[in-house]
Amino acid sequence: MIQYLKNIWSGLSSTFTGMRITSGHLFVKKVTIQYPDQRFPIPSNARNRLVLTPERCTGCNLCVVACPVNCILLETVRVVPDDPHQELYENGQPRKMWITRYEMDFAKCCFCGLCQAACPSDAINHTTDFEYSAYDRADLYYKYQTLTPEQAAEKERLLAEFKAKDKPAVAKKTEKAADHPVTAAPDKAATQTLTDKEPAPEA
């Protein structure tokens, strides 16, 4: 009988304790918001969706090397001197590499920030944008190159022509170097005369 009454008292006391805690939260400020009409502020250093500034990218490939999940694909073509279209970076230096392909697969990205840290020209950065979910995985494949496929093919053609034009000059230099081989410096130990050596001890 005593145990029965104890069980009743335990049930009632736990119920009143829960009601007391619940009623205490009825009169405090609400912490929930009506998303998406209302939003919490996002820190400026949040690591969300990456974005590339093609005008700054030098095609150095450091971001590709730094990425631990291989979500960045980069292809470049060297700028030739006789290219009619020349560009300058923001610092005034001439562009040396055309970015023919720069793609990111955000289905793989782990938002580690290593690509941003490795970029020497501050061309790739994290943004505060986190709402880019998609039903199709292909929609998570972002392309940042500014050249069209036709323009990229034209840059590759100009580079191939420049290499073909430069081959005779390279071959001529090679032949000239073969006609005049550089003789190796004589070995000092081999040319040392007997006079340089210490005299033999007398018997």
pLDDT tens digit string along 126-176? Answer: 998 888 888 998 899 999 998 889 999 999 999 998 888 877 655 555 556
Q: How confident is the model at residue 109 (pLDDT cuts 50, 70, 90)?
A: very high
Q: Is residue 162 part of a domain?
A: no
Domain that holds residue 121: 50-151
Report in angstroms the alpha-carbon separations of 129 from 20, 120, 139: 41, 23, 15
| 94-99 average pLDDT score | 91
Tally of residues, the chain = 203
Contact (Cβ atoms closer than 8 angstroms) between residue 175 and residue 167 = no
Kindly report the CATH number assigned to the domain that includes residue 147.
3.30.70.3270
Structure-model confidence comparison of residues 74 and 186, the more confident one: 74
Q: What is the mean pLDDT of residues 13-22?
A: 86
- Cα distance between residue 124 and residue 108, in whole Å: 17
How many Cα neighbours within 13 Å face the side chain of 168?
A: 2
Residue 133 confidence (pLDDT): 86
Is 108 contained in some domain? yes
| Residue at 182 is within a domain | no
Provide the pLDDT confidence category of residue 9 given band limits of 50, 70 and 90: confident
Is residue 180 domain-resident? no
- Residue 116: pLDDT over 90: yes
Question: What is the tens place of the pLDDT at every residue in 40-84?
Answer: 888 888 889 999 998 899 999 999 999 999 999 999 999 998 888
Looking at the domain assignment, is residue 184 inside a domain? no
The pTM score is 0.64
Q: Is 193 inside any structural domain?
A: no
Does the residue 23 lie in any domain? no
Beta bridge partners of 50: 126
**Which pLDDT belongs to residue 87?**
85
Domain count, the chain: 1
Give the pLDDT score at 42: 87
Establish if 135 belongs to a structural domain.
Answer: yes
